[in-house]
């Protein structure tokens, strides 16, 4: 009989050392709940992180874990997955860790379609190092590193993932406990690289950065929860719709009242162009798209048996012979 797991089975005895009110607490709760629902025993789960507030995850999830160095978590996770493909590998990083020094590692993990669950905890600031602006900070952000206000345009993480070739891209927010676990469950079920951007609040250095997503009531007008095969409508009365204009690749707003569902585009999570358009919605009257924006599976890296054998058939002696074989040169 399989053991029924609960969130407590994935809870360590370590004191959680985030600031009171940090969005990481809510995300940790969702992750533990999701892991219990999935049902993989803790010894089959691995969490890998880099440096930053989000990188403390391996201490707080009772599983195997690697707390690595800044930006290198996807590279270490790649090695873990190749060494033991049966493990359920999760990679957690903040917007600075994943998108700045770790940008290349993240890009290639997505491009290769490694079977990893990659969680970007995006608070649009460097929290651990005391509030410098990050790659996702808005124009005008005042911080110790930009006292006059940032002039950089923020990086759109979902668009970056789509451009890198990710086959699963989704979004949610820390406080949406009725939504985030569902997104995480979908991400884990996807065979290949799963990229989930989680908007989170930093109460100390960037409070209310994602205003409009904090509660379900606020999110009615500021966000749209997309679902495959469902019309792209939002608003408390579901009276606003989105129409995809394939001529320019953009979403357009239609306030059609009762006819919104009839006029709105039907979400197709296998449509890459639609996913890009949904990811691009920023500001104005257009909402922020949450949910599974894109899911179109292909063979993941290492699923081809011949490719896997290539990594596993060399003996120690054969490897040594290979390293010492061929042309060598003495540099004087």
| Tens digits of residue pLDDT in 56-72 | 999 999 999 999 999 99
- Backbone torsion region of residue 192, taken as left when φ is above 0, otherwise alpha when ψ lies between -120 and 50, otherwise beta: left
Burial of 198 (0-12, 13-18, 19+ CB in 10 A): buried
Q: Is residue 128 part of a domain?
A: yes
pLDDT of residue 215: 67
Cα–Cα–Cα angle for 33, 36, 40, nearest 5°?
140
d(CA 171, CA 251): 17
Q: What is the CATH number of the domain that holds 86?
A: 3.40.50.970
Within 8 A by CB and 6+ apart from 316, the residues are none
> 233 and 271 in contact (C-beta within 8 Å)?
no
Q: In what order do the strands lie in the sheet with 233-234?
A: 233-234, 240-245, 250-254
pLDDT of residue 303: 74
Q: Is residue 300 part of a domain?
A: no
d(CA 145, CA 133): 7
Q: Is residue 2 part of a domain?
A: no
Q: Is residue 234 part of a domain?
A: no
For residue 14, the enclosing domain spans 7-214+281-295
Q: Going residue by residue through the chain (332 aa), what tens digit of pLDDT does each one get? A: 468 999 999 999 999 999 999 999 999 999 999 999 999 999 999 999 999 999 999 999 999 999 999 999 999 999 999 999 999 999 999 999 999 999 999 999 999 999 999 999 999 999 998 889 999 999 988 888 889 998 999 999 999 999 999 999 999 999 999 999 999 999 999 999 999 999 999 999 999 899 877 666 778 889 999 999 999 999 988 999 999 999 999 999 987 777 888 899 999 999 999 999 999 998 788 999 999 999 999 999 977 655 666 656 678 888 888 788 776 677 88
pLDDT of residue 32: 98
Q: Is residue 286 part of a domain?
A: yes
pLDDT of residue 332: 81
Alpha-carbon dihedral sign for residues 244, 248, 249, 255:
negative
d(CA 292, CA 186): 8
Burial of 51 (0-12, 13-18, 19+ CB in 10 A): buried
Q: Residue 19: helix, strand or coil by DSSP?
A: coil
| Beta-ladder partners of 251 | 244
- CA nearest to 234, candidates 243, 221, 218: 221
Q: Is residue 201 part of a domain?
A: yes
Q: Is residue 183 part of a domain?
A: yes
Domain count, the chain: 1
Q: Which two tokens stand for residue 106?
A: 């993240």
Q: Is residue 157 part of a domain?
A: yes
Cα 306 from chain centre? 30
pLDDT of residue 1: 46
pLDDT of residue 162: 98
d(CA 303, CA 319): 23
């Amino acid at each position: 009989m399989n053991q029924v797991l609960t969130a407590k089975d994935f809870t360590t005895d370590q004191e959680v050392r985030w600031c009171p009110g940090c969005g990481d607490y809510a995300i940790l709760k969702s992750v533990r709940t999701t892991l219990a629902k999935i049902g993989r025993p803790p010894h089959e789960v691995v969490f890998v992180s880099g440096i930053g507030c989000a990188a403390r995850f391996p201490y707080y999830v009772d599983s195997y874990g690697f707390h690595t160095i800044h930006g290198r978590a996807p590279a270490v996770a790649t090695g873990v997955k190749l060494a033991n493909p049966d493990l359920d590998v999760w990679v957690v990083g903040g917007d600075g860790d994943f998108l700045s020094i770790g940008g290349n590692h993240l890009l290639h993990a997505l491009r290769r379609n490694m079977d990893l669950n990659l969680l970007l905890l995006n608070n649009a600031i460097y929290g651990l190092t005391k509030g410098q602006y990050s790659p996702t900070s808005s124009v005008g952000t005042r911080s110790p590193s930009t006292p006059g206000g940032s002039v950089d345009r923020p990086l759109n993480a979902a668009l970056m993932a789509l451009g890198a070739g990710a086959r699963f891209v989704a979004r949610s927010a820390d406080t949406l406990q009725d939504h985030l676990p569902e997104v995480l469950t979908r991400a884990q079920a996807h065979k290949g690289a799963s990229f989930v951007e989680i908007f989170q609040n930093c109460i100390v250095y960037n409070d209310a950065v994602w205003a409009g997503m904090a509660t379900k009531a606020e999110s009615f007008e500021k966000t749209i929860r997309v679902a495959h095969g469902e019309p792209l409508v939002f608003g408390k009365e579901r009276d606003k719709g989105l129409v995809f204009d394939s001529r320019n690749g953009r979403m357009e707003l239609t306030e059609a009242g009762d006819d919104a569902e009839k006029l709105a585009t039907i979400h197709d999570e296998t449509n890459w162009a639609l996913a890009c358009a949904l990811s691009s919605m920023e500001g104005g009257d257009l909402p922020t798209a949450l949910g599974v924006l894109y899911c179109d599976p292909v063979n993941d890296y290492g699923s081809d048996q011949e490719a896997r054998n290539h990594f596993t058939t060399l003996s120690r002696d054969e490897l040594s012979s290979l390293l010492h074989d061929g042309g060598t040169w003495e540099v004087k």
